[in-house]
């Protein structure tokens, strides 16, 4: 069982690194300001930032739609091994809602810059919930493996 412990531990670390990379890329593109998020989507001729088109946004967000939700699906299905169903349903509902809002918000920003706050809030909540989910899953898995293996 020690190899299983290492596999789950390093998979959890890998997911945490994935989350950290996503947060860094979000900070680079959008920042945590409404003006920078609006500027990134709607463009700024003075700074030579082109306006994003619907086609350009679809090229970026369509693959992310599947990748993000498959990651959520896989991570949340590991909760079936533990007896915490209430947390599982809470996390699944809110992760899917805020993940969806995060992905569609750039399309809404094209039509109204006021939706920039939605982008920032939805990403922040999604980021913290996903991080919380992975950390809880790592803790539960490590505890279960310690119980079974007496590591």
**Model pLDDT for residues 44-76, shown as the tens digit of each residue:** 888 888 888 888 888 888 888 898 888 888 888
pLDDT at 117 over 90: yes
In SS3 terms, 1-37 reads as CHHHHHHHHHHHHHHHHHHHHHHHHHHHHCCCCHHHH
Q: Which domain holds residue 111?
A: 2-149
Percent share of the chain, pLDDT over 90: 21
pLDDT, position 49:
81
pTM for this prediction: 0.83
In the block, residue with structure tokens 């809030």? 121
Number of structural domains, the chain? 1
What is the rounded average pLDDT of the residues 121-140? 89
pLDDT, position 1:
55
pLDDT, position 57:
86
d(CA 57, CA 4): 40
d(CA 31, CA 120): 8
């Amino acid at each position: 069982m020690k190899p299983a412990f290492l596999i789950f531990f390093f998979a959890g670390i890998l997911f945490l690194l994935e989350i950290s990379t996503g947060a860094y890329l979000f900070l680079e593109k959008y920042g945590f300001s409404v003006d920078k998020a609006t500027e990134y989507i709607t463009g700024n001729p003075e700074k030579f930032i082109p306006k994003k088109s619907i086609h350009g946004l679809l090229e970026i967000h369509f693959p992310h739609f599947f990748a993000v939700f498959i990651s959520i699906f896989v991570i949340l299905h590991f909760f079936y091994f533990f007896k915490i169903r209430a947390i599982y349903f809470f996390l699944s509902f809110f992760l899917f809602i805020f993940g969806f809002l995060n992905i569609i918000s750039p399309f809404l920003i094209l039509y109204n810059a006021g939706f920039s706050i939605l982008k920032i809030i939805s990403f922040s909540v999604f980021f913290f919930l996903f991080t919380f989910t992975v950390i809880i899953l790592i803790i539960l898995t490590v505890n279960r493996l310690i119980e079974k293996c007496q590591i």
